């Protein structure tokens, strides 16, 4: 039994088979989960993380109860859902519907489309939320604190309130939330179940006021009321970043990057291959910069680092192909005018030390999502950069609410403005550059994961209304 239970679809560890056939537990790649896991494992109380089993070996381990992580006070419990049901829940409902809705990504001429297949997936989504509810209900001590993350698990609030009214529950959404008009593309019954599911939590949190207010308005529009909400922006995990930055992998990646970039000025970006990240308009903006500023040709390059994501969805595969095609077309056009060198370097791999090496070295960082809950790249880059680099930042990123004062703001659909933002960053005189980059680094380090976790726990402990 645990006094603190954290739940998310993707957990902070992955299980694999070691050389001797034993199960080995490894920390998962990047993101918030590993940082939170290290804060929890260092805590005073026994804590449990409940996450989905995502591979055959994890499904086997799910049947065996608590998995010891080997790290302090934190244990792991995997929830196993039959694979087809899991895919329906994750691909069709969580990713192709809720993610698209919250990020304003629907192409209304075609999507969304609620047919029989979709409603079956919704049934699976309910069962998936119920399975998490059962695990949490079983593992949580009397009056325990339960922190549930993201749009995969909104229905747990109400289900858990019915089963275990003694628990102190908080839900945190790491994405944006939809305004009422955007939420209204979901069928009425789905909208109500979603909002009422979330109303079952003791409080609902968001990274910024903007998404918190969108949720409040959508709750009132759907259910006529809203429960307790809060916003709490997450900062970069500077300690973990510093560790990666001093690793031999990062040093090797830095040497390779030096070779690749040479004496050109470096504009970079780093994202998942993800529709909301707005990769295509970023490439168009860089091309517009070369168009308008001939003297920059051959003297500046654009490194786009991205790692593949959600390739179970046709939209993501098509988006990646479109991005690769666009880069090829633009490089073919510009390389002859850039001394024969391709000005866009598009690297699709999952190599965090290489990303960290690029963060340290960039002159300009472009973060131009259509919409984003927070966007940690906008903080991790400035926290690590060593060249007084500047940040060109979308108004649609949650991070914009905190960092607008020191960043160069752009509207993410406006390619001309994005190109002008890049030009302004390249042209900025040294004094202002230094001042802004110092300001960015300071803003990026505010509220690191351990402090952020404390704020969530404080929300959970506040008296029930």
Give me the residues that bind ligand G6P (CB under 6 A), please. 9-10, 31, 150, 174-175, 309-310, 373
Alpha helices in 63-176 (DSSP H): 83-87, 100-102, 116-139, 156-163
3-class DSSP assignment, residue 70: strand
| Phi, psi of 203, rounded to the nearest 5 degrees | -160, 150
Nearer to ligand G6P, 77 or 310 (CB): 310
Smallest separation, CB 418 to ligand G6P (Å):
22
Q: How far is CA 131 from CA 10, 153, 192, 247, 406, in A?
A: 15, 10, 21, 40, 45
Q: Looking at the DSSP assignment, which residues form a beta bridge with residue 49?
A: 6, 76
Smallest separation, CB 174 to ligand G6P (Å):
3
Residue whose pair of structure tokens reads 């992955």 in the numeric block = 14
Nearer to ligand G6P, 311 or 386 (CB): 311
Nearer to ligand G6P, 62 or 254 (CB): 62
Beta-carbon contacts of 460 under 8 Å, excluding residues fewer than 6 positions away, are 145, 146, 147, 168, 169, 170, 202, 203
Count CB atoms within 10 A of the CB of residue 291: 13
CA diameter of the chain: 69
Residue whose pair of structure tokens reads 């858990």 in the numeric block = 160
Smallest separation, CB 386 to ligand G6P (Å):
26
> How many Cα atoms are found within 13 Å in the side-chain-facing hemisphere of 436?
24
Torsion sign (Cα): 430, 342, 30, 422: positive
Q: Residue 360's closest CA among 246, 259, 234, 447?
A: 246
Smallest separation, CB 406 to ligand G6P (Å):
23
CA-CA distance, 186 to 96, in Å (whole number)?
12
Cβ-closest residue to ligand G6P?
Answer: 174
Count CB atoms within 10 A of the CB of residue 339: 11
Give the DSSP letter string of 234-261. Answer: ----HHHHHHHHTSHHHHHHHHHHHHHH
Q: Are 227 and 201 in contact (CB under 8 A)?
A: yes
3-class DSSP assignment, residue 118: helix
Smallest separation, CB 335 to ligand G6P (Å):
34
CA-CA distance, 417 to 138, in Å (whole number)?
53
Nearer to ligand G6P, 214 or 408 (CB): 214
Nearer to ligand G6P, 92 or 422 (CB): 92
Smallest separation, CB 31 to ligand G6P (Å):
6
Nearer to ligand G6P, 261 or 383 (CB): 383
Q: How far is CA 358 from CA 7, 175, 385, 426, in A?
A: 32, 25, 8, 17
Nearer to ligand G6P, 31 or 298 (CB): 31
Smallest separation, CB 372 to ligand G6P (Å):
7
Token pair, residue 254, equals: 């830095």
Q: Are 373 and 176 in contact (CB under 8 A)?
A: yes
Smallest separation, CB 90 to ligand G6P (Å):
7
Nearer to ligand G6P, 91 or 342 (CB): 91
Nearer to ligand G6P, 149 or 437 (CB): 149
Smallest separation, CB 51 to ligand G6P (Å):
10
Nearer to ligand G6P, 62 or 364 (CB): 62
Torsion sign (Cα): 394, 212, 238, 377: negative
Nearer to ligand G6P, 302 or 452 (CB): 452
Smallest separation, CB 215 to ligand G6P (Å):
14
Smallest separation, CB 376 to ligand G6P (Å):
8
Smallest separation, CB 93 to ligand G6P (Å):
12
Nearer to ligand G6P, 200 or 398 (CB): 398
């Amino acid at each position: 039994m645990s006094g603190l239970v954290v739940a998310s679809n993707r957990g902070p560890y992955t299980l694999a088979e070691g050389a001797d056939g034993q199960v080995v537990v490894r920390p998962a790649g990047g993101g918030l989960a590993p940082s939170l896991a290290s804060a929890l494992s260092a805590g005073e109380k026994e804590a449990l993380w409940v996450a989905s089993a995502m591979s055959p070996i994890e499904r086997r381990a799910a049947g065996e109860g608590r998995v010891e992580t080997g790290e302090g006070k934190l244990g792991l419990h995997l929830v196993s859902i039959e694979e087809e049901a899991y895919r329906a829940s994750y691909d069709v409902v969580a990713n192709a519907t809720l993610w698209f809705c919250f990020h304003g990504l629907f192409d209304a001429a075609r999507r969304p489309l609620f047919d029989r297949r979709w409603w079956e997936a919704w049934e699976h989504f309910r069962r998936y939320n119920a399975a998490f509810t059962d695990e949490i209900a079983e593992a949580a001590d009397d009056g325990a604190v339960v922190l549930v993350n993201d749009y995969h698990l909104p229905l747990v609030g109400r289900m858990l309130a019915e089963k275990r009214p003694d628990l102190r529950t908080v839900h945190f959404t790491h994405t944006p939330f939809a305004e009422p008009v955007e939420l209204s593309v979901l069928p009425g019954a789905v909208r109500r179940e979603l909002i009422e599911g979330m109303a079952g939590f003791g409080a609902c949190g968001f990274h910024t006021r903007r998404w918190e207010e969108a949720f409040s308005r959508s709750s009132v529009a759907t259910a006529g009321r809203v429960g307790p909400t809060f916003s709490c922006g997450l900062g970069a995990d500077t300690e973990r970043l510093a560790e990666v930055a001093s690793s031999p992998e990062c040093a090797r990646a830095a040497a390779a990057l030096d070779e690749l970039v040479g004496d050109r000025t470096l504009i970079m970006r780093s994202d998942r291959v993800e529709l909301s990240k707005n990769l295509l308009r970023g490439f168009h903006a860089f091309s517009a910069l070369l168009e308008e500023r001939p003297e920059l040709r051959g003297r500046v390059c654009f490194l786009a680092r991205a790692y593949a994501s959600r390739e179970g969805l046709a939209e993501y595969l098509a988006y990646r192909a479109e991005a690769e095609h666009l880069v090829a077309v633009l490089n073919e056009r510009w390389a002859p005018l850039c001394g024969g060198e391709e000005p866009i370097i598009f690297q699709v791999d999952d190599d965090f030390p290489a990303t960290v090496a690029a963060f340290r070295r960039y002159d300009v960082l472009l973060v131009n999502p259509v919409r984003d809950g927070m966007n940690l790249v906008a903080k991790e880059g400035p926290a690590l950069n060593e060249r007084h680099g500047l940040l060109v930042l979308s108004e649609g990123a949650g991070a914009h609410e905190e960092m607008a004062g020191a960043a160069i703001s752009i509207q993410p659909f406006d390619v001309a403005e994005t190109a002008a933002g890049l030009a302004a960053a390249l042209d900025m005189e040294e004094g202002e550059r230094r001042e802004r980059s110092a300001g960015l680094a300071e803003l990026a380090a505010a509220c690191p994961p351990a402090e952020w976790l404390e704020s969530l726990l404080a929300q959970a402990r506040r008296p029930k209304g």
